[in-house]
Structure 1
C-alpha cells in the first residue's frame, strides 16, 4: 500500500498537481502553499513535496488519519483534469472532484467522529455537495461537455 501511495505521489508531482494545491489554498481548506502569490517553481515544488509528505501514511497514524489521508490523496488525483480554456466548463470539471473530496472527508467524519455536531455538519456537507455535483454534471451534460 505504501509503495502504491509513493508511486501515486510521484505521479501527481510530475503531472502538475499545482492546480489542485492552488484550489485548496484558494478555498482556505488548508494552507499548503507557502505564501499567497508565491509563483516561483522552486517554492511551488517545495510546497508540493511538503504537501505530499503530509498525506503519506505514517506508522502510528490513527485510523481516522489514515482515512482522511486516503480521501485527500484521491481528491488530489481526481482534481488533475485538463483545462479547456472555457471558464464555465473548467469551473465545474474542477469543482466536481473538489466537492467529491469534501464528501469523502465528511464520510470519514461520520465514521470516526464522536461529537454529534461534527456528524451533523458532515451529513450536511454530504447532502449539499452531492446536490451541487448533480447540478454541475447536469449543466455539463446540457451543454454537451
Structure 2
C-alpha cells in the first residue's frame, strides 16, 4: 500500500512539474502575470503536498496530501476568475472552488475524527 501511495504522489508531482516546466518554456520571454501566478500557485501547492505529515497509513496520507492539492486547485481557479474571459471556464472555476472547499472540509473533519479516536480507522 505504501508503494502505491508513493507512486500516486510521484505521479501527481510529475504532472505538476510537467505543467510548471511547460509554463516556463512556452511563456518564458513574454510570460504573462497570469502564467507567473499560476506557476507560483503550482509550486506552492507542490511544496505543501511534500510537507504533508505522512504516517505510512494510506488513508491518512492520501487525505494529508489531497488537502493542499485541493487548496492549490482553489487558488488556480481564483486566478482564472481574475484573468479569464470565457463564461464556461469561469463557471467551471466557480464550481471547482465550491466543490473543493467542501471536500477540504470533509477531509479536515475526517482527520479530526481520526485523531480524536486515536485509531487508524
Asked whether the 8 Å contact 1:109–1:119 carries over to 2, the reply is: yes
Residue 137 (structure 1) aligned to one of 94, 100, 108:
108
Number of residue equivalences = 108
**Is structure 2 residue 83 aligned with structure 1 residue 94?**
no
- Tell me what 2:83 maps to: 112
Q: Distance in 1 between matches of 2:17 and 2:115?
A: 35
1:70 is displaced (CA, Å) by: 1.2
Point out where structure 1 has 5 or more consecutive residues left out of the alignment.
1-17, 33-49
TM-score, normalised to structure 1, is 0.63
Contact 2:70–2:100, Cα closer than 8 Å, also in 1: yes
Higher relative contact order (CA 8 A, sep 6+): 2
Match of 1:78 in 2: 48
Confirm or deny: 8 A CA contact 1:20 1:76 kept in the other structure.
no
| Secondary structure in structure 2 of the residue aligned to 1:83 | coil
Query: What is the 5 A alignment of 1:7-22?
Result: 20-22=9-11
Q: 1:24 to 1:125 in 2, by over 3 A?
A: farther
Counterparts of residues 42-53 of structure 1 (less than 5 Å): 51=21
| Alpha-carbon shift at residue 54 of structure 1 (Å) | 3.5
1:61 aligns with 2:31: yes
- Normalising by structure 2, we get a TM-score of 0.75
1:37 counterpart residue number? none
Shift of 1:110: 0.4
